[in-house]
Every structure is written in C-alpha cells, then in structure tokens.
Amino acid sequence: MKSSVSSLRCRCSSATLRSTATRSRRYVSTSSSSSSSSTSTSASATTPTTSPKTRWLAITLVSIAAAGAGAYIRSQTPNSATLNQETFTKYSLVSRDPVSPTSSLFTLRPRYHSDGNYDVYEEAWRTGVWSVMFKQPQLQIGRDYTPLPTTAATSLSVDEENEGYLRFFIRKDPFGEVSRYLHTLEPGADIEMRGPQIECSIPEETREILFVAGGTGIAPALQAGYSLLNRTSKENRPRIHIIWASRLRADCVGGVSDTPKAPAASSSRSWFSGWFGSSSSASVSQSETVGPVSQDQEQSLIVRELEALKSQYPGQITVDYYLDEENRFIGKNDLAEFIKPTKEVEDQETRKLILVSGPEGFISYMAGPKVWAQGTELQGPLKGIIKELDPKGWAVWKL
C-alpha cells in the first residue's frame, strides 16, 4: 500500500523583502512633505475608489464563476474508460458476496464501456501475475489487489466478460483502511482503480510452478495457474502445484488435498509461531489432527475455482490444503515433497519456479522478508524454510 502527501511552500526572496522595506519607508510622513501630502489628498478626492467590501464581492463572484466553468468542462470531458497505469479509472461495484466471515468476493465492471479493456486484460493474463490499485478516496491512499481469472466455475456471462468485469477475493483486515472501506460499499458504488501492475512475469520456458499461498494469497495462485496452463499444447504440458494455508475452514470448505500425507508429516508450528515466537497452542498430536472434509460438502467459491482449473487441465494442477484452526500447518517436510534439489543446472526449457504469496509474516517465514531500498521494494535474500531446503534448480519469487 502506497500513499503520498504533498506540501506547498511559500518562498520570499531577500530582494522582495528589501523592496517591501523600501515601500514601507515611503509611507512615513514628515513635516517637510506636508504640502505634497495635501496635494495627494486633494487628487485622491477626485478619483473614484472601490470599497474593500465591493472588491471582495467581485473576487468571490469571479472565483465562483471559474469553479463552475471548470466543473462544467470536467463534466464534459469523459474519464478514461480503459484501465491504465497513469490515471484512476472508475468501476462500478456490481456485487459483494460473502465467502467467509472475514472475506468477500467483489464483482466490478467499468463505469464506462471501452473495447480497450479486453486487450489490457489479455496482455496481463499472458504475462503472469498482476494486480490493480484500489483508491480509498477519503484518505487518498491505495492498496493493490489481484483479480481472479475467468474459469468454468465463474458465474460471469459472455456479455459480462466482454464488458470488462473483474472479480476480487478480498479479506476485511481490521487494521486495513482500504479493505474496511471496500466492505462498507453497496452495489452501485464507484470504485477507482489503476493498473495493471505486473507482479511477476512467468517466463515462457517455465514448465513447473510450486505456489505457496497464505490466505488471500490464493488469488495470485489462481492467476499463475491460469497464465501457465493456458500455454498448454501437445508439446508443452506445464504443471502447477498449489499449497494453500487458510486460517478458517469457511475459506476452503469442501477442499480435498491431492497429496496423501500422514498427519505426522505436517508441521506442529504455524507461521505465526515461527514469525512471532513459539506457541504451545500450535502443538498437535497425531490423534488431534483433523483430516480433509468430505467431497459431498458444498464447496467454497475458491475451491470451486480450483476444481474448475483441475477439470480443464487434468493432471496438470494439484492442490493441498492446510488449516490453522485445525492445527494443520505447512512444514518443511511438506515442501520437501516438491522441492527436490537437482545436481545438474536446469536449462531454459525445464525451468522451475517457486512463488510465495500471502501476508508479510507468511512470506518472511517461508522465504524471508522483502526489503526496501531507495524507495523501491526488492526481493531481498532468500531465507526461511525454503532456503533450508536448498532449492537448486528452482527460481524463487516473493509476491
């Protein structure tokens, strides 16, 4: 989230000060200039003068007229209807559907129709993982959110897709000014967005992705899967494995892991304990571990999206679920199942990529924190449990 504050400074040069001082001395009366003063008084008596009240009234009327003219000109100049990186584009909130007690699915459409949005979206989808900035107008601050791709589970019609609808999975952060503002909006409200911002370009030579997602970090995982698997051909069948850690069962209800694993293989510590210190409540025995829920249960929105991708690209996408409230956390052994170091250097045609997305603490625990340098956010050195696995042959990127 980035915010900016501008300030205006009034400067007065020394030359101006000297000029002011000179003018002040000229208004000092002396006995020798009394005749001159009386002459000036006599002349001024014959010159029409404007009272301060009249002068201020004229200034006020001119200001009102100028403001009205400016407002009219702005009203006649349409805002950019096409999403772009330079200006904020108005979107309209179509719906806000609860996914869990703390998160919702937002569906938006451009306020003004533009055929250019299709090209903007398609270029971003082809490139990789991308986001847009939402503006909180009262505080003039912004926050980046990741659009969800269109899948077979998407309820959008063809016309809605052509009109540039976008969907977002957003959690209401009790300390997040933008997310709290968005969750107060009703359908029909305007939302200003700017973008797209490419968060990670997925190289054309990428053949395998391991995506480690925490919470709403699953949205970029869906994007990565969508972008990568769309490159499928007879000669190229890329694969993606998603490891998703959620705090609440409501976010991933109905999700069943694709990788069989014994309860002992799961970590006994959450990323919270690894980031903020040890937590005895995170300890779990084999008998206390809760297994995956039945597939007969109604699936949550995100699980339906993941299952739709799996149906569209059979054998190319697998998903494993971990749940904080059931004391099942991502551990080193879980990642080691997929991060197997290779002795030979990977060539460009078999490149492997690890992507990590989620809250800052989650990213830091998994791969080390990102860093700021000279006003720019950088990847920072690889650390965390991924570093401990020595992922030779894998490129790692923190979102």
Q: Answer left, alpha or beta for residue 358, where phi above 0 means left and psi between -120 and 50 means alpha.
A: left
Residue boundaries of the structural domains of the chain: 89-198, 202-398
pLDDT band at 298 (very low <50, low <70, confident <90, very high): confident
* pLDDT at residue 277, rounded to an integer: 36
Q: What is the pLDDT of residues 348-386, one digit of tens each?
A: 445 899 999 999 999 999 999 999 888 888 899 999 999
- Write down the pTM of the prediction: 0.71
Sign of the Cα pseudo-torsion (276, 278, 282, 286, in order)? positive
Binning pLDDT at 50, 70 and 90, where does residue 269 land? low
Place domain 89-198 in its CATH homologous superfamily. Translation factors (2.40.30.10)
To the question of whether residue 321 is assigned a binding role by annotation, the answer is: no
**pLDDT per residue over 133-145, tens digit each?**
999 999 999 999 9
**Lowest-confidence region among 162-176, 206-220, 355-369:** 162-176
180 annotated to a ligand binding site: no
Residue 181, annotated ligand binder? no
Percent of the chain with pLDDT over 90: 48
* Euclidean distance between CA atoms 387 and 297, whole angstroms: 37
CATH fit for domain 202-398, picks 3.50.30.30, 3.40.50.10860, 3.40.50.80, 3.40.50.12170 = 3.40.50.80
Q: What's the mean pLDDT when you consider all of the chain? A: 77
**CA–CA dist 190, 221 (Å, integer):** 28
State the pLDDT confidence band at 161, using cuts at 50, 70 and 90.
confident
- Helix ranges restricted to H, 77-193: 116-127, 158-162, 177-182
pLDDT at 159: 72
Residue 178 known to bind ligand: yes
Backbone angles phi, psi at 396, to 5 degrees: -115, 135
Strands 128-136 and 141-145 come out as antiparallel
